Structure formats: structure tokens, C-alpha cells
Chain A
Amino acid sequence: MEQLNGCQGKRKSVDMENEDEAVQPAVPPALQSGPKHERSNCNSTSGNMETSTAGGSVSDERRTSSSCRQRIDSLRKNRPPFPWFGMDIGGTLVKLVYFEPKDITAEEEQEEVENLKSIRRYLTSNIAYGQTGIRDVHLELKDLTLCGRTGNLHFIRFPTQDLPVFLQMVRNKHFSSLHTTLCATGGGAFKFELDFRQMADLQLLKLDELDCLVRGVLYIDSAVSSPSGCYYYENPTDPERCVQKPFLLENPYPLLLVNIGSGVSILAVYSQNNYKRVTGTSLGGGTFLGLCCLLTGCSSFEEALEMASQGESTRVDKLVRDIYGGDYERFGLPGWTVASSFGNMMCKEKRESISKEDLARATLVSITNNIGSITRMVALNENIERVVFVGNFLRVNTLSMKLLAYAMDYWSKGQLKALFLRHEGYFGAVGALLELLNPS
């Protein structure tokens, strides 16, 4: 628990009961029976966490210590010196948001140190970095005003396994000479803290990933009005008429925030500062990709999705109609319902008759539906009707989004609405950036 000193004692947003649990040592959950119990302490097994995140808070001491090197001019205006970054290091992907000031005065331009200039140019003039770094240009937010400065917000990602390459680059660009604070969240902020210090001479400001996530989601929702970053699927149960529609997320509370990264976290958010992690599942994006790699030999998320889009899951799954010949009327189960994911694969002949694409599709459908059904149960238990799905599992994954929209609508008989956000996996990083600008 020591690694976490940086963020202990400041999760005021979390329910007290959870907080309590959080301080407990790593006793096997089986032994932690206690008299208290509310719905919320259904922590997951599966921790999940990964991707995304946003908005945390930092202890005052730490802020003082890390801000001592800030440049005078920024201090005068009560804002941190450039560059402004927010970083979220998940189990699979590192997400980086970078604020590019567009209102740089001539005076500033002259003052700007060469290193800073080179970083800005490098990031904004490329859309790919090294072998695996990518800037999601379509997500770029233009003319955003942050802390009295106007500029563009850039969204960049690269695989967590390439972090050493990134650190090398940071070192080469003499990032540390800028005396900036790098706000980072996600598990990797803790895991790689030492690497940042040793390899890049950078001191990380570690932030809680769920704090950052919530903060990021709420900020983007409020700051980005047009085009709205929030949307839903109209007519989700009718494939012919199912279309994406913008959604105005006014009065967002209470909402269920489902973050699907490598694993999944489900949060109930009651206000900006009041949320709790209800549960999570280890069956997430990492499971989809991991299983697809094993089953099909693919090697990337995009490749897996591409295969899935061409496959047919009903050859792999056993449907209700495969068992009952039609609907299971006694319990109102339509024949097309999946009775057993991969159920047909119990049979040797069927194992030999399916394609890799079918397997990829079945994996996607199983994981997605499972997240859907856990979410639905949590929504019922928490009595929340609005669900926002985020996380990089949903990136370019219309298939899953439509499935989730369908599942929420169908099984709740229209009670639950599934919402999606354009910036899917970047909220943690945004939250980290906000923490730099407005320490909470």
C-alpha cells in the first residue's frame, strides 16, 4: 500500500464505507466479513481498472513540493508553466492528452525555450509517433479555453509495453529541463514511477484513476457542447433503423459510468465529488483481445475487431433455439438468445466447421453481453437508469456499442438508456490534466 501514499486520504468523493475497506490490508476477501454491508461494497474480483481515468486531487504538501520549480510568469498568473500534459497509463494503453496553446504572444514565443518548442512541434505536426504511437486527430478539441488560455487539446495513445521507448524519447527531448509537473494516473503511474524518475528524470504526480475518470467525463461533457461528445443509439432493437443520435447530457446525475479498459469498472456517480466504485469485472477489453489472439492468432485490437466484423457468432454459440427448437416460452426467452457462449464448441464437428472470424465475433459478443448484463444488474441494484459507457474497448467498436445499446434497452424493457462518449478512453488523461491546472 505504500506505493499509494500519493493518493491516500484524499478520495473524499468515495463513499465512506468503501474508503474504510480501502484501508484494509490485503486480506483475502473471503475473510473480510463484517457487519456492515451496503450494495456498494461489491468490489470486483477483478479489479479491472486499466484504461482511462480522470480527475483527481492531490495533497497540498505534494503540490507545494512539485511546484517550487515552476516558472515565475506562470506562477504570477496562477497557472502552471507549459507544457500541459495529462497522462493515463493503463494495463494495455497509455493515453496522453496535450494542450497546445494557440494564443501564444510574440513575447511568449520569444521567451519559449527551445525544448518546449520542439516538443510542441513534434506532437502537433505528426499524427503517428514511432512504431505505435498514434494521435487521434478526429478527437482533437479546437479553441478550448483552459485556465485562461486558448488552444487545442490533442489525444495521443500508445501501447503500455512501449513505455520504455516513450521514456527514451522524453529523455532525448530533455523534457525534464522544463521543470514541469507530469500528472499521471492509471496503474502505470504507480508501477512505472521509478522508471520515470530514473530513465527520464521526471517526478510523476500520481493521481487516482477513478477520480480522474469521473472528473474527465464531467469536464468534457460540460466543456464540449458542440458537437456534443455524447450520443446514443436510436431504435437499438431494430438493426434497420438503429442510428447514432447526439444526446444532451444535462443533469447527468445519477449516472452509472462503465469504464471498459483491459478490465471493467462500474461507478455510480451522484455528483462531481460523490461517486463510488460499485463493482467491476475481469472480463473486459483485455479478455477480448487476449482470447482473440489465442483463438485466431491475430495480434492487434484493430485486427481482432476486423475479424469479428466478418464472423458469425451463432455458429459458435449455442442459442436457445438450438436447445428448444424455438423460443423457451415458459420463461419468455426468444430463440435467438444465446444460451451458452461457445456452447457449440463442446462438439468436435462444430469445432472443425467454424472460422477464425466466427470465433472473434463470438468472443466480442460474449464479453460485450456479459458487461451488459452485469451493468444492468448494477443499475437495478443502484436504482440508476442512465448508463454511460466509456473506455478504449469501445474505440472503433460500433459492434459492441450497438450490442450494449440493444442489451440495455431489450432486457430492461426500455428502462435503461446506454450512452456513449466520443472521447471513449481519454477521460482519465483529461482528468489528470485538469488536476494539473486546477488542483482539487
Chain B
Amino acid sequence: MAAECQRVDRSSHSMDKSITLPPDEIFRNLENAKRFAIDIGGSLTKLAYYSTFQHKVAKVRSFDHTAKESEGDPLYEISMQEEVSARLHFIKFENAYIETCLDFIKDHLVNTDTKVIKATGGGAHKFKDLIEKKLKLRVDKEDEMTCLIKGCNFVLRNIPHEAFVYAKHADSEFRFQNTQPDIFPYLLINIGSGVSIVKVESEDKFERVGGSSIGGGTFWGLGALLTKTKRFDELLQLASKGQHTSVDMLVKDIYGGSYGSLGLTGDLIASSFGKCATADKESSKEDMAKSLLHMISNDIGQLACLYARLHNLTRVYFGGFFIRGHPVTMHTITYSINFFTKGEVQALFLRHEGYLGTIGAFLKGAEEDTSLMPPHTLGTTALSHIRFDPNQYSWGENYAGSSGLMSVSPDLNPMQRARSGTFDMLEMDRLERQLVNLPLLQDPSSYVPDTVDLSEDALAREYWLYCFEEALDGVVKRAVASQPDLPEAVERAEKFRQKYRHKLQTLRHQPFAYGSLTVRSLLDTREHCLNEFNFPDPYSKIKQRENDMALRYFQKAVKSLELLSWEQRQFALVKGLLAGNVFDWGAKAVSDVLESDPEFGFEQAKRQLEERPWLVDSYDQWLERLKGPPHKCALFFVDNSGIDIILGVFPFIRELLCRGTEVVLASNSSPALNDVTNSELQILTQRIAEMDLVIQSAVKEDRLTLVQSGSSSPCLDLSRLDKVLAGVVRERHTDLVIIEGMGRAIHTNYYAMLSCESLKMAVIKNSWLADRLGGKLFSVVFKYEVPLGHKHTTPDHVPGTTS
């Protein structure tokens, strides 16, 4: 894969478009909304509901091959089917809209048997009657802190890049944290009108260990008294413009300089507002607001540190309306924490901090609700008799439906300004499978899937955003072509274009909107947007055609390989795999050739490959390794359909099987670009097994296994894989991981450290990337790695041909 790139006219950047959404784009899928929760704070309301929605999926079904087979019949048929999926919706809006929103919900809520709405937050009692009257739902109040913690656990577990460190002056203000395999224990400092300090030890165990009355309410209340400024946001704006040194008594005001023997620098605040007792001149509003902000932030930071130390915790998350995405307060709190702990504890913030209460209230309701059955589509009905516990599933942030993090900094860009004060959304898709770490990651806590963080690399960001924008017309064209029977596809494709273009524009200005910006996130966002407009598999027909074509050459390819000597064959297998990987509709350079010259053949591709030594070349070590004992089991993350999988991967794994190595082929659970999906691969494997005895016996003897990766991305996140896959990997004592293709081995996992041997192979089909890596177009990366301290026995003989 890679950025899909059809050359097109560059679209204009229209920034003037209003981003305020009409309610029917905010409260989506209301018709099937099942369970509601609401969190009403001092100024914002957060609503949550669960919905099921129908969407199209592309299914493949094998034809009956016992019947007569005529040349030209496709291998399998593709059909569009309706499937039901589950989604969580979270919407945030100003309290002023609450009545309008309730009316809208009432009008659109048809198919629900919901009787109760869970409510939390300080404003819940104030609006209780209104909610009950409008929605005819009974308001059931939930403890605020319990909801907060529940929500916090949920986002930390399910949203990669949920937590971040804020660094005002760094290249990228937001530094996102890796998802930790174990999120506990942690300290949550909730800064609302007061401060609550909560120690969270496990899903159900938490304790309010302390608090302080000096919090957001103090800033707001005292600030309003001192400056006659009424709004919280305005106070923050004032503060960001002020100079606290005219209000505060600094160390140097007392000492004339620093207090060196204690290491207290002259600029430290000795006494907040200390100058106001004697100063003759009036202090400005800005200066007082600034001093107040420092005073409160420092005080909270200090207490947070004292509690963190007492409980021996280093993960400290901050939330509450005082923080809520305000760069000013995130900065002062971060500063304070750094000061008091000398950098030992980092202040962590959460992208979806504002939603924690409503998420928690929703989950609380869902746990109690036995009537709420999850809809099942993939044969998991066995689960439907148990209670719906959202914690039993993995959930994924839907980039198409979520607004993303926005900055409310005083000098924000026009786009953000237009959005503040409107609606903000978070949508979480329920994933069909529970996702876990690959057990073979050397250090799961330090694993980062992505090779380049585009939020930190401005040049790369610019290139890739441009690249994806360039490719957009081609994607639209292909999406339309994939549904020739549906006339409204054109209109839907147009909507897709607008949505994705808008996302790209957002990311241009807020690269941090969905966590670290990466090629993977750009690709995933596109897949989410395509799905959003019912283009589940634009490549289905192309994949089908290529699979058919490649299958015809399979036997011939295997035969020619068998004629080679052992050593020649090993090289030919690697070369074949790499050449196969050149066939990739995802890569611009290749899709150009494929479309203009369909005769571009396998042999040509091999010739096109860079000669050895390759850009990254550890083939010699690999060959040496092959002279040794066979691996126990190889896990192979496959890439594209067609020539890649059939003429590249299959001969390669056939050799492994012959050596006595078991093989697990991991493929995508759902479509992404032209990547082969698990259901396609099942049909292909069956067909190949019919032609090839090695594959046939391997399938029969369960030495060749197909598993789903759990992903539907052209990239690969080894920390979010199907739990079943992880089980298989463990059971089979997997000792070799093979990762193929640009998306999985270059854009992601290039630096991934595994605890067993690994092989990362890709052809670089993007000239910009090739350039960056010091190579050229069609440069080869062949990276064979053995973890440090790993030994295998040296071979005492060179095995002969094994076929």
C-alpha cells in the first residue's frame, strides 16, 4: 500500500465553509439509539448513546468448483450485503442548546425501548425535570467521580494516543503517549470548581485520596471579583496577556537576586499577590489574572506532586473544566509539575477528557442493562445471552465521525475559532474482535507502530498531506466504479470527497487532532470515511481480477522454482516475494503503470527491482539462517491481493512448509485498499491447495493456518491484534515473524523490536520516501533481525533440495 495517488487538479482549500453542523449530522443514527447518558457540567452538556446501524459490506463467496469450470469464470463472487454494527456516540454542546437538542432527540427517537437516561455532573439535577418531560425517560443519577473514573479507564484502554504531554514551546505542542499494556495504577487530578485527587488501582478500585478547594472555581470566582470579567474563557485570555511580576513578590524582590543556597532562582514567586499590599499603582486586569492563574496552577501542581509521591505514582492525569484543552492551563500545570518533581512526574492530559463523565455514565447504564443485546453478525451469537458489557469489547475511534482535539488557544486559527462554541463529537466503533498485543513484542510499553510521527516532522507532514489530497480524485473515481449498479454512488462519493478533504484540512492546522499524525492515521481516516459513505471495498473487483489472473500462473511459477538449486531458489523466492509486492494499487508509481500497461508482468517487476546490495540488505544472514534448523512456526503478515499473495507469498511459505516450519498467515479482517482480506485468502488458499500437494497437506494437517489480524488498515499496529491471533502465536511457539509491504514494514514497524527472529520486506514504491531513506524508486528493504542474545544452532550441513 501507500498513499493512493492519482494525479488530479488540486482542489482549492476552502476555509470559509461554516463548520457548524446541522443537528442531523450531529445526532447520528438516532433512529436506533438504545441507551442514553448525559453529563451536564457548568457550561457544557455531554450526551452519549449507543446505536446500531446498517452498512454495506463486501462479501466474497466461492463458486462451487466441482461443477464444470470454464475459462474466464471468476474464482469467487462478490456481493454487497447489509451488516449491522454497533457504535457509541458522544456529543458535546453548550448548555444553551440543551432544550433544542432534547427536542431534536425526541422527534427522532423512534425505535427505542429505552426507559432510563443515566445522568451525572453538577447540572444534572437542574435539568432533571426538563429531560424527563421532553424525552419521557426516567433520569437516573450516577455518582460523578465513579463515572469519571469509568470513562477514564475506557478511553485509556481503547483509544491509542489518548494521553499526551503538553509542551508549549516544542515543535509539536502535543506529545502523545503510547498505550500502556497496563493502565493502572494512576492518579487522576480533576480540576473542576474544586480539585479532587483520585488514586485508581484497577477497574473497580479507586479512592479519593485528597483534594483542594483552590481550583477552577477559585480562578473563576476570584478572577471575576478582581477583574470584573465574567467568563472563564475571557479570564484565561486576560491571563495569557498579563505579566505576573508586577503583582507577585518574587524571590528577587526580597533578595535582590536569587536565593542561591536553596537553589531558588530570583524569578520564582515568593508570595503570590505579595506586591498588591504595598504597590501604589493599580494592577492591570491582565496582570492579576496571570498571577491568579500561576497561583492556582502552582498550588494544584504542588499538591498533585505531594500525593503522587505519597502514593508512589508516576502517571498523573489532569482533567476537569480548568484544563479542558486550554493550552494556557495545560502549560502552567505542566510547568508546576516539572518544577515540583524536577521532571520525574509528567503531567498527562487526555484528548477526550471532556467526555469521561458521560462515557462512564453510559457504561454504568450499559452494565446494568440486561435487555441491551449486542447485535451480532459474524457468528458470535453465543455471546448474546450475557449482559452487554462494553468492557468485553475493543472499541476504536471512528475518525470520520469524531471531531478530534481542538485547540482553544487565544491565538487559534480561523478554523478552530469557527468551531468553538459549536458541537464536538466522538464516535467509537465496536470492533468485532477483542484486540491485544502481539505476544512477541520485545517491550510492549515502548512499542510505537509508526515509523515517522508527522506531527513532529513538518516536511514529511506537508508531503503526505499533499500526497493524500492529490490522490483523492482517484479514490473517488474508484469508489464510484466499484458500485456501477448504484446510481447514487456518485453523490455518495462526492460526500466522501468533501468529508475526507475536510479532514485533511483539519489535520493541516491541527496535526494533533486524532493523536500523533502518521501515514497510518491518514490511511485509516480515509478508510473510515469510505465506510461512512458505504464504500466498504472499492477494490473488490480489481482484487478479484488480479487473483484470478495470478492463480493461473501459480503452478508454472512453482515448477520453475523447483528447477533451481537450493541456494538459487532461496534467492528466487525472496525476489519473487519482493516483485510480487511491486504490484500494489496503493502506491502511486505502481498504479500509474498498472493502469497504463496491464501487461506489466511478474518478470518485468523482477527486472525492475534494485540489484543487490539492496538499500537495506541482510539477505546473506537470512540465507545463512536457512542453512540452519527450520523455524518452529512463522507468522506472516500478508499485504496485497493478486500476484503479491499468490506468486510471491505462497511459493515462499511453501518452501518454509517444506522445511518443516508451520505457517500462520495473518490477513486483514476487513478490506483496506487492495490488501487481501481473510475471507478472500480462505478462498485463494483452498484453490491453491487443490493445485498443490504441499499446501494441501499443510492445510489438512493444520500446519498452514489462516488468521485474521483484527485490523482493516493498510498498516499494522502490533499492539492491537485479534486476541485469537495472539493465542495461535503462543500455542504454536512462533519463532519467526515476517512482515511484508510498505504499509506494514516501512510506514509502521520498521523499528519494531520483536522477541524472536523477524523479517521485514518491502519495495519502496514512493519516490519521496525512497529519497528520504537514501534510496530510489523500487529500492528494496530486506531486514532480517535476530534479537540480542538470541542463539540458534549453527548448521552442520547444508540441506539439499527438499521438494
Contacts and interface: CB of A to CB of B under 8 A. Distances in A.
B276 A43 contact: no
A273 interface: no
Interface size class of B (residues with CB under 8 A): 35 or more
Interface string B185-197: 0000000111000
Contact of B278 (A161, A295, A338, A373): A161
A370 B266 contact: no
A164 interface: no
Contact of A286 (B146, B214, B249): B249
B193 A90 contact: no
A41 B260 contact: no
A92 B208 contact: no
A91 interface: yes
A373 B303 contact: yes
Interface string A179-196: 000000011101110000
A82 B226 CA distance: 50
Contacts, number: 287
Given A91-B254, A262-B254, A281-B302, A49 B194 contact: no
A317 B272 contact: no
B256 to A, nearest CB: 3
A133 interface: no
B222 A342 contact: yes
B53 interface: no
Nearest to A344: B221
A43 B208 contact: no
A283 B215 CA distance: 14
Contacts of A339: 193-194, 213, 217
Quick one: which of B214, B272, B309, B340 has the most chain A CB within 10 A?
B272
Interface in A1-26: 1-4, 7-8, 11, 14, 18, 21-24, 26
Given A90-B254, A290-B271, A290-B272, A340 B193 contact: yes
A80 interface: no
B259 interface: yes
Interface in A69-95: 90-92
Given A346-B193, A373-B212, A187 B298 contact: no
B702 interface: no
B338 interface: yes
B268 A340 contact: no
Given A345-B222, A346-B224, A290 B261 contact: no
Interface string B213-235: 11111101110111000100000
A277 interface: yes
A48 B262 CA distance: 11
A200 B19 CA distance: 70
B333 interface: no
Given A1-B258, A377-B303, A41 B342 contact: yes
Contacts of A326: none
A438 interface: no
Contact of A342 (B210, B217, B259, B260): B217
B93 interface: no
B299 A263 contact: no
Contact of B270 (A47, A161, A210, A346): A47
Contact of A351 (B216, B224, B248, B277): B224
Interface string B389-429: 00000000000000000000000000000000000000000
A30 B272 contact: no
A198 to B, nearest CB: 14
B585 interface: no
Contacts of A34: 342
B343 A30 contact: yes
B303 A374 contact: yes
A221 B262 CA distance: 26
B335 interface: yes
Nearest to A22: B263
Contacts of B277: 92, 286, 289-290, 292-293, 301
B307 interface: yes
B439 interface: no
B225 A351 contact: yes
Nearest to B42: A346
B270 A294 contact: no
Contacts of A92: 274, 277-278
A41 B273 CA distance: 25
Nearest to B344: A37
Given A188-B254, A330-B143, A340-B213, A29 B271 contact: no
Quick one: which of A191, A290, A293, A366 has the most chain B CB within 10 A?
A290
A430 interface: no
A378 interface: yes
A345 B258 contact: no
A274 interface: no
A279 interface: yes
A14 B208 CA distance: 35
B270 A282 contact: yes
Given A286-B273, A342-B221, A370-B214, A33 B342 contact: yes
A45 B249 contact: no
A375 B230 CA distance: 33
A219 B341 CA distance: 34
A191 to B, nearest CB: 3
Contacts of B212: 370, 373
Interface string B27-54: 0000000000000001000000000000
Interface in A50-64: 50
B221 A282 contact: no
A37 B306 contact: no
A237 interface: no
Interface in B110-166: 122, 143, 145-146
B542 to A, nearest CB: 54
Contacts of A323: 122
Nearest to A9: B261
A366 B261 contact: no
B226 A294 contact: yes
Nearest to B301: A45
Interface string B299-341: 1001101110110000000000000000000000001101111
B251 interface: yes
Contacts of A23: 260, 263
A89 to B, nearest CB: 8
B531 interface: no
Interface string A343-363: 111101001000000010000
Nearest to A338: B213
Given A282-B271, A282-B295, A43 B217 contact: no
Contact of B213 (A282, A286, A341): A341
A369 interface: yes
Contacts of B262: 18, 21-22, 43, 47, 210, 277
A290 B344 CA distance: 33
A111 to B, nearest CB: 39
A66 interface: no
B253 interface: yes
Interface of B: 42, 122, 143, 145-146, 192-194, 208, 210, 212-218, 220-222, 224-226, 230, 247-249, 251, 253-278, 283, 288, 295, 298-299, 302-303, 305-307, 309-310, 335-336, 338-344
Given A290-B277, A366-B218, 7 more contacts: A50-B271, A187-B256, A263-B269, A284-B274, A291-B276, A330-B208, A343-B213
16 contacts: A4-B261, A8-B260, A18-B262, A33-B344, A42-B302, A43-B262, A46-B268, A92-B278, A192-B256, A281-B299, A282-B268, A318-B193, A344-B221, A366-B218, A374-B303, A377-B303
Interface of A: 1-4, 7-8, 11, 14, 18, 21-24, 26, 28-34, 37, 39, 41-50, 90-92, 159, 161, 186-188, 190-192, 208, 210, 261-263, 277, 279, 281-287, 289-295, 301, 316-318, 323, 330-331, 337-346, 348, 351, 359, 366, 369-370, 373-374, 377-378, 380-381
- The list of the 8 closest CB pairs from A to B, nearest first, reads A33-B343, A345-B221, A187-B254, A290-B273, A286-B271, A286-B274, A340-B217, A191-B256
